[in-house]
Amino acid sequence: MGRRALIVVLLAVPAAALGALGIVVVASATAHQSTAAFGAPTHYVSRHVFAVILAALVAVLFVQLGPQRLLRAAPVVFALTLLAVFAVFAPGVGVHAGGANRWIHVGPFSGDPAPLLTAATALLVAAWAAPAAGAFARGDTEARPRLAIGMSALAVLVFVAEPDFSAAAVTTLVLLAGLAGAGVSARRLVPAAAASALVLALLASRFGYVGHRVSGFLSPQADRRGKGYEVLALARAQASATPRGVGLGHGTARRHLSSPGSDYVFAVVNEEMGRIAAAGVGAAWLAIGAASWLAARSTREPRLRAAALGAGTAAVAPAALHIAVCQGWIPIIGVPMPLLGYDPVAALAAGAELGVVAAVALAARGSREAERA
């Protein structure tokens, strides 16, 4: 099997498996909530099916367009998605819930536009920062790399203002991954990553609800009326998990968690379908991450390497955070798992990100064949 075929397999097979498994889990986990709210058990799962299909079509479209066209469109795409995120603050459009302005509601559409802006950030960094990465790495003044970093920082600040610190952290990782792909050395990136983590932690500490979540995570028994209740529910689901699970629909987590079909879907899989299925979910995301790394390694062009690593990070990082929450490793932050959990916008963004990685892999193959010719 050639490298191109391997990358496509490592992208397509895990993504298809996650989407198919997600349809089953979302249908089961949201049936009661959907019936109570909309009078039918299929409201959420029908939207999830549509989102997964649309994500697949977007991935195919991005492959057909090719990375060069995508990179040329990056500034426009970034501006549009940034406006969508700003819309969360608009009266009558933005929705305030859970202590944050993270959602928009326009007619039949509602969702969190943050994943789209994170995906657009990966393209913008690749388009503007990578061409002058060598000069930037030496500390020379280059307008576009600094502008790309500035616009990415603006996106992070908007997420902080919502507040949505999971989106802020993921977007920061995407920026750093893109710069790494562009050729910026670890000597510069490691201190930048440490400084970013410190700044985000200090900003998060200024929001009371963040402190409540941290205290609920550290002392869940003392916070049974808050997030500590859900921390304990996750712990019980984790403790009761068996290799093959208790059976779909028979777990306790779905009855005690506020959003079992989105924010905690991995916990539902772990308890009801078993640790083997949960390990398979983790392996699927590891395969997607490996495909992104291989796609970046397959090309010598800095912009394509930056696009592959940035887009791959944008896809994998939310899944990693989701798993960490459900395993009880970090406080609850409310980040859905793309494709597996119910979040149509996250599924659409994941389709775009995987399409970018596949497009880079195929373009890299074509460029190397041209060089040999």
Residue 298's closest CA among 1, 13, 11, 7? 7
Residue with tokens 């459009």, as numbered in its chain: 93
Put the strands of the sheet holding 100-106 in their side by side order: 94-97, 100-106, 109-111
User: Helix, strand or coil for residue 51?
Assistant: helix
Cα 230 to the center of its chain, rounded Å: 22
Residue 64 lies in domain: 3-372
Nearest to 111 by CA among 358, 352, 353, 342: 342
Q: Would you list the DSSP string of 164-176?
A: -HHHHHHHHHHHH
Structural domains in the chain (count) = 1
What are the phi and psi torsion angles at 27 (to 5°)? Answer: -60, -40
Tell me the C-alpha distance between 311 and 316, whole Å. 9
Per-residue pLDDT tens digits of the chain, which is 373 residues long? 577 778 888 899 999 999 999 999 999 888 888 888 888 889 899 999 999 999 999 999 999 999 999 999 999 999 999 999 999 998 888 887 767 778 888 777 778 999 999 999 999 999 987 655 444 444 444 577 788 889 999 999 999 998 899 999 999 999 999 999 988 888 889 999 999 999 998 988 888 777 788 888 888 888 877 778 888 889 888 888 899 888 888 888 888 888 888 999 999 999 999 999 999 999 999 999 999 999 999 998 999 999 999 999 999 999 999 999 999 999 988 899 999 999 999 999 999 999 999 999 998 654 444 444 3
Nearest to 286 by CA among 312, 322, 324, 262: 312
The predicted structure's pLDDT at residue 221: 86
The DSSP bridge partners found for residue 111 are: 104
